[in-house]
C-alpha cells in the first residue's frame, strides 16, 4: 500500500482557500466515526473565518467526530444543525439550550437516509484519507458513512492526512449495497471475510480540492477497571457461561459486540473468566478498542470487524507499528454494513451496550439525564440491541458516587424498548428478562439494583400492583427521585 499520497494532476489547495468558498447555509458532510478519521484542517479554517458565527451550517457525519468540529467550530456558532451523533460538552450545551438543532439517528440507517431523501443531502463533502487518486480515496482510521457522504455530495474535498499511516488502506472493505428494490443480502459469510474494495470510489468531476494535512486523531483514555467494573464483568461472565450451555446457536462460535469505554472493557474482562471450549470467538461490532487488540494479540479472537478504530494512544501506536499483521484479522466496513441487521442476525451476535438508566420493565435510556438533558447521541447501540441474538445492557447500579440509582421505576427517556433489551447486568448481578411478563420483569430487575435503593423500588412495584393493569406503574410517583 506504499506510494504517493496525492496523484499527479489533482487540485491541491489550502484549507483556508477551501473554507472561504463554503457558503452560509451549506449542508456539510464529513467523514468520521468513533471520534477518528474526520477532517481537521478545513473545519479549523472555517472556525477562523470572521463570519463564522453567521455560516448557519448543517453538519452530517457517520458518527462521533473530534473536537475540531464539535468543539472548536461548534463554539463559533457556525453549526446550527447536526446529524446523527455528538458527544462533546460544547455540542451538548448547545443542544440543551436550543442553539443547536440535533436529530439522533440509528447508525445503520444513515447512508440510506442521506441518499434517498430522508435527511438533507450534503452540498459539500469534506473527508479524511491517507491517499487520493483519480476517482478514488483510501480512508484513514474510520470508514463510517464516508462512501454514502461522498456519493450524496455535489462537491468533494479530500484531506490527505500524512500523520496517518498510508498502510491503513489495507484494513478497509468498502462494499456498497445496491439501491432498493434491487438490493441483495449483504454477502459477508464470516467476520473476517472481505467482500469489497479497499478504496472509496467517486465521480472525478466532483473533486474540488485536495488539502494536505499532518494532524493526528485524538485518542481515547481508558481508566483502570474499578472493583465495580470487575464485579460487573464477573456477572456478565456468569450469564455468558449459562448462555453458552443452553443456547444451540452458540454451540460452535461466539460472536461479540460491545460498546466503547468501560462497558467494552468489562466485556473483555468477562472473557478472561469464561470457558468457551473449542468455540471460535469473533468480534462483529461498531468500534475496535484496545481490549479487542488485546484479544487478538492473545489469539482469543479469530477476527474483528467494525467501522472505526477507537484506540488509546498506546493502542494506536501498537496498531500502527504492526499494521500488516493486524490487517490479516481486522476489517473496517461501512457503517451500513457493520451495523446492518442482516449480518448481526446472521452471525448471532451477543451484544453488550451501556446505558444511562434502565427501568423495572426493561426500557433503556442511553442518551438523556432526567429525560431532557442530552449527554450523547444514540450511535449504533440501537442497531445491535434490536438485532442481536442476545442483547445485554451493562451499567453500574448507581451514579453520582452512589447517590442516584440507575435502576429506576420508569425510564425518563426510552432509546431501547423492553422488547429489545434481553438482559440487564450490573455489579449486583444479572437479570434475564426474556419471556417474562412486565410484573415478572420488575421482580427480576430489583435484585440487580443497589441494595440502598431496593426498598423504594419494591415499594413502587407494590403501588403499581395495587393500581392494576398489565404493566405495574404508579404514574403519580414514577419520576420521583429515588
pLDDT by residue (tens digit) across 96-138?
A: 999 999 999 999 999 999 999 999 999 999 999 999 999 999 9
Q: Are 409 and 478 in contact (CB under 8 A)?
A: yes
Q: How far apart are CA 85 and CA 81, in angstroms?
A: 11
Characterize the bridge pairing of strands 57-60 and 136-139.
Answer: unpaired
**Has residue 263 got a pLDDT over 70?**
yes
All domains of the chain in start order, with CATH: 15-213 (3.40.1080.10), 227-477 (3.40.1080.20)
Distances (CA, A) of 322 to 168, 301, 326, 330, 390: 11, 17, 6, 12, 34
9 CB-contact burial (10 Å; exposed 0-12 / middle 13-18 / buried 19+): exposed
Question: Taking residues 398-417, what's their average pLDDT?
Answer: 96
pLDDT for residue 96 = 96
Residues 296 and 331: beta-carbon distance below 8 Å: no
Mean pLDDT score across all residues of the chain: 95
Q: Where are the beta strands (DSSP E) in 195-294?
A: 200-201, 207-213, 253-258, 280-284, 287-288
Q: Is 243 a catalytic residue?
A: no
Determine the 3-state secondary structure of 476 from DSSP.
Answer: helix
Res 261: pLDDT = 79
Q: What pLDDT shows up at residue 273?
A: 80
Q: What is the DSSP string of 302-319?
A: S-EEESEE--BHHHHHHH
Mean pLDDT of 213-231: 89
Q: Using CA atoms, how far apart are residues 302 and 282, in angstroms rounded to an integer?
A: 5
Does 266 score more than 80 pLDDT? no
Name the percent of the chain lying above pLDDT 70: 99
What confidence category does residue 259 fall into, taking pLDDT thresholds of 50, 70 and 90? confident
- Dump the DSSP string for 459-471: HHHHHHHHH-SSS
Bridge partners (DSSP) listed for residue 308? 142, 287
In this prediction, residues 267-290 reach a mean pLDDT of: 91
Rounded to 5°, the CA angle 263-267-270 comes to: 135
Task: Please give the model's pTM, rounded to 2 decimal places.
Answer: 0.95
Asked whether the predicted pLDDT for residue 314 surpasses 60, the reply is yes
C-alpha 348: how far from chain center: 19
pLDDT of residue 1: 45
Per-residue cell: 476:
403519580
Given pLDDT bands bounded at 50, 70 and 90, which one contains residue 222?
A: confident
Work out the average pLDDT over 259-274: 82
Q: Which one, of 59, 15, 35, 31, lies nearest residue 309 by Cα?
A: 35
Candidates 286, 357, 418, 427; catalytic one: 286
> Given the DSSP bridges, would you call strands 124-133 and 136-139 parallel, antiparallel or unpaired?
antiparallel
Taking residues 340-356, what's their average pLDDT?
97
Q: Work out the pLDDT band at 3, boundaries 50, 70, 90.
A: low
What is the Cα–Cα distance from 35 to 117, expressed in whole angstroms? 26
Asked if residue 229 lies in contact with residue 262, where contact means CB atoms within 8 angstroms, the answer is: yes
Residue 206 has which C-alpha cell? 466532483
Please report the pLDDT score of residue 219 as a whole number: 86
pLDDT above 90 (res 233):
yes
- Estimate to the nearest angstrom the gap between the alpha carbon of 311 and the chain centroid: 13
**CA 121: distance to chain centroid?**
22
Which range among 181-190, 254-263, 305-314 shows the weakest confidence by mean pLDDT?
254-263
Buried b (16+ CB within 10 A) or exposed e, 30-43: bbbbbbbbbbbbbb
Lookup: cell for 253:
462460535
Amino acid at each position: 500500500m506504499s506510494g504517493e499520497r496525492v496523484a499527479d494532476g489533482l487540485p491541491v489547495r489550502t484549507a483556508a482557500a477551501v473554507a472561504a468558498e463554503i457558503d452560509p447555509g451549506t449542508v456539510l458532510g464529513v467523514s468520521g466515526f468513533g471520534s477518528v478519521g474526520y477532517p481537521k484542517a478545513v473545519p479549523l479554517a472555517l472556525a477562523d473565518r470572521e463570519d463564522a458565527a453567521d455560516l448557519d451550517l448543517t453538519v452530517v457525519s457517520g458518527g462521533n467526530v473530534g473536537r475540531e468540529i464539535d468543539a472548536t467550530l461548534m463554539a463559533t456558532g457556525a453549526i446550527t444543525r447536526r446529524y446523527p451523533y455528538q458527544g462533546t460538552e460544547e455540542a451538548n450545551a448547545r443542544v440543551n439550550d436550543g442553539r443547536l438543532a440535533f436529530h439522533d439517528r440509528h447508525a445503520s440507517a444513515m447512508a440510506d437516509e442521506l441518499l434517498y431523501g430522508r435527511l438533507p443531502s450534503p452540498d459539500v463533502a469534506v473527508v479524511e484519507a491517507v491517499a487520493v487518486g483519480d476517482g478514488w480515496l483510501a480512508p484513514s482510521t474510520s470508514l463510517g458513512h464516508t462512501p454514502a457522504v461522498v456519493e450524496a455530495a455535489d462537491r468533494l474535498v479530500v484531506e490527505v492526512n500524512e500523520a496517518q499511516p498510508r498502510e491503513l488502506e489495507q484494513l478497509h472493505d468498502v462494499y456498497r449495497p445496491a439501491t432498493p428494490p434491487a438490493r441483495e443480502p449483504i454477502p459477508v459469510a464470516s467476520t473476517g471475510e472481505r467482500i469489497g474494495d479497499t478504496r472509496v470510489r467517486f465521480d472525478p468531476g466532483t473533486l474540488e480540492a485536495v488539502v494536505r494535512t499532518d494532524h493526528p486523531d485524538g485518542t481515547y483514555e481508558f481508566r483502570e477497571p474499578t472493583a465495580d467494573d470487575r464485579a460487573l464483568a464477573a456477572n456478565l461472565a456468569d450469564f455468558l457461561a449459562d448462555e453458552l450451555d443452553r443456547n444451540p446457536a452458540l454451540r460452535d462460535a461466539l460472536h461479540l459486540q460491545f460498546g466503547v469505554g468501560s462497558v467494552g472493557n468489562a466485556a473483555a474482562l468477562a472473557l478472561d473468566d469464561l470457558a468457551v471450549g473449542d468455540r471460535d470467538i469473533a468480534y462483529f461490532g461498531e468500534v475496535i478498542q484496545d481490549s479487542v487488540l488485546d484479544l487478538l494479540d492473545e489469539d482469543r479472537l479469530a477476527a474483528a470487524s467494525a467501522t472505526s478504530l477507537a484506540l488509546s494512544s498506546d493502542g494506536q501506536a501498537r496498531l500502527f507499528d504492526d499494521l500488516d499483521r493486524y490487517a490479516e484479522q481486522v476489517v473496517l466496513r461501512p457503517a451500513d454494513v457493520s451495523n446492518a441487521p442482516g449480518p448481526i442476525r446472521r452471525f448471532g451476535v451477543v451484544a453488550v451496550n451501556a446505558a444511562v438508566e434502565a427501568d423495572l420493565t426493561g426500557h433503556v435510556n442511553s442518551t438523556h439525564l432526567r429525560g431532557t438533558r442530552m449527554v450523547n447521541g444514540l450511535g449504533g447501540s440501537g442497531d445491535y440491541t434490536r438485532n442481536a441474538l442476545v442483547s445485554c445492557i451493562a451499567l453500574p447500579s448507581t451514579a453520582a458516587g452512589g447517590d442516584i440509582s440507575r435502576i429506576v421505576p420508569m425510564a425518563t427517556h426510552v432509546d431501547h424498548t423492553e422488547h429489545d433489551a434481553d438482559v440487564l447486568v450490573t455489579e449486583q448481578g444479572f437479570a434475564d428478562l426474556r419471556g417474562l411478563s412486565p410484573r415478572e420483569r420488575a421482580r427480576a430487575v430489583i435484585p440487580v439494583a443497589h441494595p440502598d435503593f431496593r426498598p423504594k423500588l419494591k415499594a413502587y412495584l407494590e403501588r403499581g400492583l395495587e393500581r392494576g393493569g398489565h404493566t405495574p406503574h404508579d404514574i403519580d410517583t414514577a419520576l420521583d427521585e429515588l
